[in-house]
Amino acid sequence: MTSCPSCVMAPRISTASRLAKLIPALAFALLALLATSATARQLSRASLAATVPFDAIRSCLTDPDDVFQFTSLPAGFEPSDAIFDDRSNQLFVVSDDGTVAAFRPDGELVATWGVQVPDWVVESSGVKLKKRKGKGRKGKVASVRADLEGCTIVPDRPDFLYLAMEFPPALLEFSLTQGRVIRAFPLASFIGTKPTTAGVEALTFIPDPAAPHGGWFAVGRQSDATIFVFDVPPIYGTRVHPLVLRGTMQPPGPREDLSALLVLPGEEQLVAVFDKPQVAVAIDLRDARFVNELLAPTTLSSAVHVDVARGPEAMTATTPYRGIEAFALARTGPDRDRLMLFLGLDVNKSKTRELYRLTCRVREP
């Protein structure tokens, strides 16, 4: 080593001393990062479409300014779910007989599609169906109409409608441009494989930019009102794609006869509608149990159950309408100060199948 008489050697600092100085700085940086992430998540959710307060839902159900009945339903059409698409200004409604219909808010029927279930969807479901009329072998069917019970839209996938089929239980990715099922996401391992009329009954998309693919799918089971929360699958993949279960949730309200789910834009609330009890309840998506337990990084083997019913009293609305199967909403008007509620009714005793639009003014808080 070269001698340097004028150099002053720096004092040696032990490794322990270095770590002692470094750890507080790292901890502070980590806390700042977590705080930033939480804030960004809140802001991103709050900046969704125009806010729809739950009080506006309650008011519109009980005291609407206007009630309009759709008179252009296709023959035999039984509304089982609905979703309004702001981009196209159309209401998509699905029927138990496998029909998807698109309406203008004024009631004009724009288009219909018959959703056929290919053999590969049935085979992937893990269930066996008896031979039906027409072509097909035992355990297989050659394109039968889907028993549709739910529908939703993923905003950044405008060409697709996501459908919930009761049996065999599955989510279907339906192309509106091609008019056919593109992919299937089996639900039998979560919902069950026995034929039932109280299985998959509701579907909605929960937007969340912090999610792997922009949000979550919430699937409701009618029999016990359990809500299953799944990762939204990536836009591309195999035609039979597995779903990743985040967990299940027990909403407030009756523990049976769940018929519809929807998210209130800007309010971070998930609304669960119950058919025969004639009740709608709001679930706070900011609930720490929902965010920290259900949406925390997890795998299928560690999926959790969250009983949101046990906690603060939920906001509830009594519906004067019996047999609500389809439930959708949209804001309208020059200042978006009016709310449109779309209700699909299926009252078995009177064999009533009807679709209504309720309109009322939104009173901002």
Q: Is the pLDDT score of 273 beyond 70?
A: yes
Name the amino acid, one letter, at 160.
F
Other CB atoms within 10 A of residue 248 CB: 19
Pick the residue with more confidence: 191 or 182? 182
Name the amino acid, one letter, at 310.
R
* 336 Rama class: left (phi>0) / alpha (psi -120 to 50) / beta: left
Cα distance between residue 148 and residue 170, in whole Å:
10
Residue 35's H or E segment, with its range, is: helix 15-46
Q: Chain-wide mean pLDDT for the chain?
A: 77
Q: Is the pLDDT score of 344 beyond 90?
A: yes
Tell me the backbone φ, ψ of residue 119, rounded to 5 degrees.
Answer: -55, -40
Name 129's bridge partners: none
CA atoms within 13 A on the CB side of 106: 1
- The distance in angstroms from the start CA to the end CA of the chain is 77
User: Mean per-residue pLDDT for 338-358?
Assistant: 83
pLDDT band at residue 93 using 50, 70 and 90 as cut-offs: very high
Coil, helix or strand at residue 187:
coil
Which structural domains are found in the chain, ordered by start? 27-361 (2.115.10)
The CB-based long-range contact list for 284-288 (8 Å cut-off, 24+ gap) reads: 285/45, 285/206, 286/42, 287/311
Task: Single out the residue of 188, 65, 36, 180 nearest to residue 126, CA to CA.
Answer: 188
Q: What integer pLDDT is reported at residue 42 of this predicted model? A: 42
Q: Write the pLDDT tens digit of every residue in 302-313.
A: 566 676 655 555
Cα distance between residue 255 and residue 180, in whole Å:
35
For the whole model, what pTM was predicted? 0.80
Of 13-17, 223-227, 253-257, 265-269, the range with the lowest mean pLDDT is: 13-17
> What are the tokens at 203?
């579907």
Q: What integer pLDDT is reported at residue 27 of this predicted model? A: 43
Residues with Cβ < 8 Å from 313, sequence gap 6 or more? none
Name the amino acid, one letter, at 336.
R
Q: Is the pLDDT score of 260 beyond 90?
A: yes
Name the amino acid, one letter, at 188.
A
User: Mean per-residue pLDDT for 127-136?
Assistant: 50
